[in-house]
């Protein structure tokens, strides 16, 4: 669902997205701590990492529930783009490396090191541009136990209601290196990841990509084989449990078909499983109609039930909302995680500073889905829920590179504002430029083209500035003021009013004092007019006795004193408790 830092943050997000049921809190697990380096992700890459393409990762991982351990072999293929003399990957030091080899030749212990979780392997030669190298790493041990998955991640070793092992990984905030050797950076996606997950034979192991079959070894262990193209590094996920499988063939509005599968606990209430599974097709149709074709149709659309709340693991989204209903006619968590197949997996931000492209645009899909299902009033109610939770302490986008923690941690960055404020900014943009320009802009951002078609899609990386450029082109005007006033300032634009007799004047004031020519609708005794606010100012004739409503359809995100007063009173009441 994107990373949140704390349960309190998640509760606020859940309220903003419309979830009304309480979220359960499991006791915190004891932590064998990884290094500070390993626990951070999205950090600058080493020069050697910048000088290679990561072609393929072949991961053989045996998961041993009784020991809460793994025994694994990773085979990593690289191609040099500049001369290098060593390979550099990340791997948690909690895992013991027993063997390192390059191109089938063992590397002596003195020629590789992994002191803080950044492993350096000497090649013994210079790898020239275009040449390849294959790195094999055998490792084992007890990986980091998630203190509070998915917000503080790692492995979650849980049990089902009937006492069977139920295991899941969620590592967005800490990175792929918690359980497999990788280049822990969003721009270092492998071209392909092949997974061979060995588990006790009475359990299942659904994972990313296409299912390539399983092999029962006849000794109580079975290997499940999967293959995924261009996965986000943190999206590789292990999910192990006594699962039953529901599958249907989805017929896309684009003419192609692909499987949609839900792996759920075999002890679940069949009626609840049926009700959730019935939501898959209409959600998919909404996203394909609104954004474009499902990006991973040559693999699958997959969902797996997990002991944690949720996470956008490419083609195997984690779902742990326990079938809760909130009166909206759909499961908010299922819908939000599915949004990330477009906003996060197909489109990946180049840096965490642009994380609102994942979370804000993904969160805006829920009010739009409320409208798709039940009409305008339901969308407005959803937007009001989001509006109440804004912090406005830090800009949604800073304009400089950030780590994930610097973005998701609301004490030092925008935190949950990347979700709800990002959504409301998207809504204001749509109201400003119209549906055609807005949705064409979103589609171009996600796919790199306004006319995506199944079979020709490649995941891509994007930035806020790229989105601004696309919006300018589609709207036919320069909207830099909009992006500057909303995304790069902490404070919301403030529409200030003054009156002189029958003349009512307005002025926009933004965090940086820049001109903000956002048009505003004004309703005077039931009659509406639009003030263009070309220089950030406008005025209208309105008798003192007239009833005046500003922005009657709530098209414009702006500072509202009554919400600030409510939040101040709520904070004071909480302090008194």
Within 389-516, residue ranges assigned H as helices are 404-408, 420-433, 435-447, 464-475, 480-487
Q: Which structure tokens are listed for 257?
A: 């078909």
336 is known to lie in a ligand binding site: yes
At 397, list the tokens.
């986008």
CB 208 within 8 A of CB 224: no
d(CA 518, CA 550): 13
Active-site option among 90, 299, 337, 474: 337
**What is the rounded CA–CA span in Å between residue 358 and residue 363?**
8
- The H-or-E segment that residue 84 falls in is strand 84-90
C-beta separation of 470 from 556 below 8 A: no
In the structure encoding, which two tokens stand for residue 122, read together?
């000497």
Distance CA 230, CA 237 (A): 14
Q: Per the residue annotation, which of 287, 294, 364, 419 is the catalytic one?
A: 419
Q: How far is CA 529 from the centre of its chain?
A: 39
d(CA 35, CA 234): 18
User: Can you give 514-536 as a three-state secondary structure string?
Assistant: CCCCCCEEEEECCEEEEECCCCC
Nearest 5°: CA angle at 20, between 146 and 309? 20
β-sheet with 165-170: strand ranges across: 154-159, 165-170, 239-240
Catalytic-residue membership of 243: no
330 CB-contact burial (10 Å; exposed 0-12 / middle 13-18 / buried 19+)? buried
- Please tell me the distance from the alpha carbon of residue 37 to that of residue 307, in angstroms, as a whole number: 27
294 given a catalytic annotation: no
Could you write out the DSSP letters of every residue in 159-192? E-TTS-EEEEEE-TTT-GGGTS-B--SGGG--SE
Q: What angle do CA 490, 416, 209 make, to 5 degrees?
A: 130
Closest to 167 measured CA to CA, from 146, 181, 185, 194: 146
Please, which contacts does 393-396 make with residues 24 or more away whose CB atoms are closer than 8 Å? Answer: 393/417, 393/490, 394/490, 395/487, 395/488, 395/489, 395/490, 395/511, 396/356, 396/360, 396/421, 396/422, 396/425, 396/486, 396/487, 396/488
359 annotated binding-site participant? yes
d(CA 513, CA 169): 46
DSSP 298: T
Burial of 398 (0-12, 13-18, 19+ CB in 10 A): middle
Q: What is the gyration radius of the CA atoms in the chain, in angstroms?
A: 25
Active site residues: 337, 419
The annotated binding site for Zn(2+) is made up of 336, 340, 359
Q: Which residues are annotated as a binding site?
A: 336, 340, 359
């Amino acid at each position: 669902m994107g990373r949140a830092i704390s349960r309190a943050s998640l509760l606020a997000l859940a309220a903003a997205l419309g979830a009304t049921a309480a979220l359960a809190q499991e006791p915190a697990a004891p932590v064998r701590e990884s290094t500070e380096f390993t626990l951070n992700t999205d950090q600058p890459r080493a020069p050697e990492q910048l000088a290679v393409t990561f072609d393929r990762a072949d991961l053989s991982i045996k998961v041993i529930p009784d020991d809460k351990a793994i025994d694994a072999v990773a085979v990593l293929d690289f191609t040099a783009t500049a001369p290098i003399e060593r390979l550099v990957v990340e791997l948690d030091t909690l895992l013991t490396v027993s063997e390192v080899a390059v191109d089938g030749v063992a590397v002596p212990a003195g020629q590789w090191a992994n002191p803080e979780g950044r492993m350096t392997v000497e090649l013994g030669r210079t790898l020239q541009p275009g040449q390849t190298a294959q790195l094999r790493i055998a490792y084992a041990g007890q990986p980091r136990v998630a203190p509070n998955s998915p917000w503080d991640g790692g492995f979650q070793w849980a049990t089902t209601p009937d006492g069977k092992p139920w295991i899941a990984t969620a590592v967005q905030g800490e990175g792929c290196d918690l359980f497999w050797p990788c280049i822990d950076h969003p721009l270092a996606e492998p071209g392909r990841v092949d997974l061979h997950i060995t588990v006790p034979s009475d359990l299942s192991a659904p994972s990313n990509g296409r299912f390539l079959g399983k092999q029962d070894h006849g000794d109580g262990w079975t290997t499940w084989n999967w293959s995924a193209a261009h996965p986000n590094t943190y999206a590789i996920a292990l999910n192990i449990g006594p699962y039953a499988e529901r599958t249907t063939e989805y017929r896309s509005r684009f003419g192609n078909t692909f499987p949609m599968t839900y792996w759920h606990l075999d002890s679940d209430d069949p009626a609840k499983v049926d009700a959730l599974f019935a939501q898959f097709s209409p959600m998919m149709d909404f996203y394909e109609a609104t954004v474009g074709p499902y990006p991973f149709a040559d693999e699958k659309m997959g969902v797996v039930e997990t002991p944690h709340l949720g996470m956008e693991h490419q083609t195997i989204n984690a779902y742990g909302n326990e079938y809760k209903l909130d009166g909206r006619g759909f499961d908010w968590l299922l819908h939000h995680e599915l949004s990330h197949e477009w906003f996060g997996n197909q489109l990946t931000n180049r840096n965490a500073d642009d994380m609102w492209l994942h979370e804000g645009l993904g969160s805006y899909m829920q009010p739009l889905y409320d409208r798709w299902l039940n009409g305008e009033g339901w969308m407005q109610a959803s937007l009001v829920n989001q509006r109440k939770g804004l912090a406005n302490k830090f800009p949604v986008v800073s304009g400089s590179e950030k780590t994930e923690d610097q973005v998701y941690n609301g004490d030092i960055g925008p935190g949950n504002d990347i979700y709800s404020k990002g959504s409301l900014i998207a809504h204001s943009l749509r109201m400003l430029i119209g549906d055609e320009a807005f949705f064409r802009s979103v589609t171009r951002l996600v796919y790199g083209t306004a006319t995506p078609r199944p079979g020709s899609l490649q995941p891509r990386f994007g930035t806020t500035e790229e989105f601004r450029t696309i919006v300018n082109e589609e709207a036919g005007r320069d909207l830099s003021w909009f992006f500057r006033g909303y995304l790069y300032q902490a404070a919301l634009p403030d529409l200030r009013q003054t009156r002189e007799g029958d003349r009512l004047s307005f002025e926009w004031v933004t965090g940086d004092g820049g001109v903000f020519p956002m048009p505003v609708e004004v309703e005077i005794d039931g009659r509406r007019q639009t003030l263009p606010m070309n220089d950030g100012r406008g005025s209208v004739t309105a008798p003192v006795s007239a009833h005046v409503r500003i922005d009657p359809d709530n098209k414009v995100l702006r500072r509202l004193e009554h919400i600030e007063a409510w939040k101040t009173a709520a904070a004071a009441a909480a302090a008194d408790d």
